[in-house]
Structure 1
Amino acid sequence: MPLKSINVPQADDLNKVIAVVECKYQHGYLSSSLLHLTERQVDYYAHSARILGFFDVNFNLTQSGVNLAIAPVQMRMQILSSAFRASDVYLEWRNWSSNSGLMMQGHASQFLADYFSTANLPKNQCLSDNQQGTGTISRRAKTLEDWYSRLY
């Protein structure tokens, strides 16, 4: 299945991804006041948790999400790392890296630009950028680079 823009994370603080999963586990719902985030930020971090497999498509906790929530603090980055390496976006990025001969690290922006310029997807499922390099691709690439440097 092709990678869609919705499968590329935009929430770069992995500790907040963990906090969202913990909140759902402890309270059964997500609350911007409990998390000290705006509603929009909660959505971004919950979406990232879904990309990593901690929430299902309806934003219910998966078994992986429960495992993350109850894991000792020192194990959480290892769990996040495994989840990231199993995610669709990571697998596509790794495949692109192998085919292009470029390392993954430092080339997330080029990966996303290459991928979405050739993807056979409706325009609303693709990422784009602007000439100033401040568009969606640049922001999402920054998140991928941050996750890669912390989790790989």
Structure 2
Amino acid sequence: MKLKDVLELTLTDSLDLIAKNHLEIGKNAARDALKKAGCYAKNGRRGWFYEGDPAVLEKSIYDFIEKKNTQTSVKPENKQTELKVEKQERKITGKEKNLKKATYEVEEWVHDELKIQAIRQKQTISEIVNEILKKTVEEKGADHG
């Protein structure tokens, strides 16, 4: 909608109604666009006014809306998304199957070393611990289906 049409409508309707019925933007965005175009409102007088280059009145009000910054990269929505990706990676590699979650206490220095190894080898601590435990169990000669 052209700026001059919006200014004409402000003489009879509130900016709120104009935005609701005629524009694709809200009242605040419309007010900000009018201000950016150089329009002004006077206390005690109904409507918005413009005293400047008549060519501006032929422009669309949408030309004066400030564009919002857009997100350039998409972040995972939540931890569930990350878990789904991790599970899919496990399926693709086929390394791990029939996993059982277990909690054990280890000395702090051991955990710190595991963290360092995990970073260097680009694995999780769980993957490294699982490999170590498998080797130990195999060395002891246990049957592991």
Q: Shorter-normalised TM-score: what interval? A: under 0.3
Higher relative contact order (CA 8 A, sep 6+): 1
Larger Rg: 2
The structure with the greater share of residues assigned to helix is: 1
